[in-house]
Chains A and B, each alone.
Chain A
């Protein structure tokens, strides 16, 4: 299991398009991805689950991978969030 923390700094938080971009990237990896906001945990491969975190701008998230490609997956996802989803073409 591999875990990293990251803060959401994009304008809208885990809105529809950021959540979808996150889910799409997470789905490229074989490992399970869980995203936690405090005690609430979402499935990183479900955009609806991510949106239900009600994670607005400034929310601290814990991204946890569990599987053979966990390090690669979590680092990529942290990168996506840290770059404010810019690589997904979201303003």
Chain B
């Protein structure tokens, strides 16, 4: 038995066969990695060519066969090979380089005036699709990941979103980026996950038996029966269905952030007061083809059914940035965090948005609570409302995320055109501080809470409370035992957290008092630096009593 220590990101424990997933993300640009990516691309190209040849042989001579033969030729085209090689040379992995090359080429064809030639973008996209499939098909890891333990150096948001429908039993990752987008998605998946598990990828082979014991912060290779029984006792699902009120009697809804039906089920078992954020991205991220209205309806309806009479807030497709759906050939952007994303992207594809809204109205009916990501002002809300009015008559609840500094400053105006608002603290923090949350270099500088972020949140929260609109938090701060009470003190009435944090967050709410939290929030916001705020939080003289909460029920 070998035990490797690591950091528990999502508590719990589970055992299964290992599936090792090789890193495909933008990595270092050392010569070795570039060479490795180049080799992996060549492997992918040879495999895709062989597969295409096999398919061509099964076809009778005719147009279909000719088209596949043309695709075979395009796969070896010098322009495509040069485009991939250029992206690999900038430090991208093979799959990412294929994705960029695809986006670049498709964008060039889509700029054509001639509609017949413009439609050739689809052929290029298909060809890149064959190449990308080599990396995406789970059979390279020997079947699906269900019932297994995924081991990787790190996983991209797109890779994690692809696990949403059929998650593995646990994750063991080498990277430590606990504040990254990937960490958020891991929490949303809700299965035991450990990060900072050094050298796991080189120590483990596909099919090895592994026990991820995130409760004790260790991964055990080749565990014995005793190890498994020992940990099974500690990994019972916790549940807390009672209401959460602060010590001074303010009711706070503790809701779940989910990515699909699996999470919704887990959240309901844990006792969530509803779904505070249903991310719909995974529906669009895992397919080569855009999902139809009926397919979307099925997925939404399943979540509605599981939630029963508890409210569900659904966020419309929040794509772009680091979430590039394979079915939409989005051009590569130099600065995707500030590019076409969120509601901006949704409004750029009004037909796709309308399809999603139709499916949502069918699935949730009058109970629909639709939330818009990355809003800057009421104009975007009104545009979405117009599409909603076309789809269905009567009033439906629409909310906006406060996750850009503009939205925070426009919160009075946003409150006037919405039914509820939600603070997306992850993006808000990154945009206020101009610090990329995916950047490990910038992330090491990020203290848990910066006075500038607190000042902006306090301003927005006061406007929203003044306009009599409910305000929730659906970022990582919602589950942070030090920061969440401060946000409640500023007027937040709902905390949306991953299902593994429902029980702890309810306990936290019951142990805090809004008046004390408000004073601490004001004090932190008045400090000159993030370090000073972090020190003040760490002293624990807040009267928050977060470490030993009293149950106020």
Contact = CB atoms under 8 A, between A and B. Distances in A.
Interface of A: 12-17, 19-20, 23-24, 43, 45-49, 51-52, 54-56, 89-91
Contacts of B459: none
Contacts of B116: 12-13, 15, 56
5 smallest CB-CB distances across A and B, nearest first, come from A48-B79, A20-B70, A56-B114, A48-B77, A20-B73
B113 A54 contact: yes
B80 A20 contact: no
Contacts, number: 61
Is the contact region of chain A dominated by helix, strand, or loop, or is it mixed? loop
Contacts of B114: 13, 54, 56
B78 A20 contact: no
Given A46-B78, A48-B79, A48-B124, A54 B73 contact: no
Contacts of B77: 23, 46-49
Nearest to B114: A56
Interface residues of B, number: 22
Contact of A47 (B63, B70, B117): B70
A56 B124 contact: no
Given A48-B124, A51-B117, A16 B70 contact: yes
A16 B120 contact: yes
A49 B79 contact: yes
A47 B67 CA distance: 13
Nearest to B121: A51
B140 interface: no
A23 B74 CA distance: 10
B208 interface: no
Contact of A90 (B66, B78, B108, B120): B66
Contact of B117 (A15, A20, A89, A91): A15
Interface string B169-180: 000000000000
B349 interface: no
B105 interface: yes
Contacts of A89: 66
B310 interface: no
Interface in B124-146: 124
B91 to A, nearest CB: 24
A56 B66 CA distance: 20
Contacts of A16: 67, 70, 74, 120, 123
Nearest to B66: A17
Contacts of B124: 48
B403 to A, nearest CB: 39
A48 B105 contact: yes
Nearest to B73: A20
A62 B342 CA distance: 46
Nearest to B70: A20
Interface centre among A14, A16, A48, A51 (most CB of B within 10 A): A48
17 contacts: A12-B116, A12-B117, A15-B117, A16-B67, A17-B66, A19-B70, A20-B74, A23-B77, A46-B77, A48-B77, A48-B79, A51-B109, A51-B117, A54-B113, A56-B116, A56-B117, A91-B63
B73 A23 contact: yes
A15 B78 contact: no
Nearest to B83: A48
A52 B108 CA distance: 8
A33 to B, nearest CB: 12
A16 B79 CA distance: 14
Contacts of A17: 66-67, 70
